[in-house]
Amino acid sequence: MKPTADDLIDFVYAEARMIDERRFVDWLDLYTEDCIYWMPLEWNQEEEKLTTSLLYEDKLLLKTRVQRLEGERTFSQKPKSRCQHLLQQPQIDEINHDKGIYRTYTPFHYAETRFDEQQILAGWARHQLCVVDSELKIKKKRVDLVNCDAPFRNIQLFV
């Protein structure tokens, strides 16, 4: 499979819709086994591992989070959190069929709510995608928030 720009754009939209529809198991299947989901704490942060981040999760931690969100005994999720993504059209930063690297950049607004509390976040999502068994997968997702260095309540779902 050699993904086109339209394939990459459709993929980013489909990922956001899965989260909005709480289809977390399907969403998790979009990620490679060696994936990283990263949300830096500092503006223009480049160091991933030796600097504190808002989130830095591998596939195991993402699975644990999904199990918690889906669990019947997760009392912090009664009622369940809900969210909505509003995405600008993803831009294509790189299509490299020879190296199997595909990168996108997507400005977004994200709303998450539970009970009468609502949290609005804005930022940019950068996806590094690859092809595994003829399917696009997320190798790395970096989410940079506009106000990354502000204090936050818990972000329950996935931006």
pLDDT tens track for 46-79: 888 888 888 899 999 999 989 988 877 777 777 8
Number of residues assigned to the chain: 159
Pair 59, 36: CB distance under 8 Å = no
Asked if the model's pLDDT at residue 35 lies above 90, the reply is yes
Predicted confidence at residue 148, as pLDDT, reads: 87
- Residue 18: pLDDT over 80: yes
Q: What is the mean pLDDT of the chain?
A: 92
Predicted model pTM: 0.92
Specify the fold of 5-145.
Nuclear Transport Factor 2; Chain: A, (3.10.450)
Tell me the C-alpha distance between 31 and 129, whole Å: 9
How does residue 20 score in pLDDT terms, banded at 50, 70 and 90? very high
How many whole angstroms separate alpha carbon 145 and alpha carbon 123? 4
State mean pLDDT over 14-36: 96
CB 16 within 8 A of CB 159: no
Predicted confidence at residue 115, as pLDDT, reads: 85
pLDDT tens sequence across 123-145: 999 999 999 999 999 999 999 99
- Specify the DSSP element, H or E, that contains 121: strand 117-132
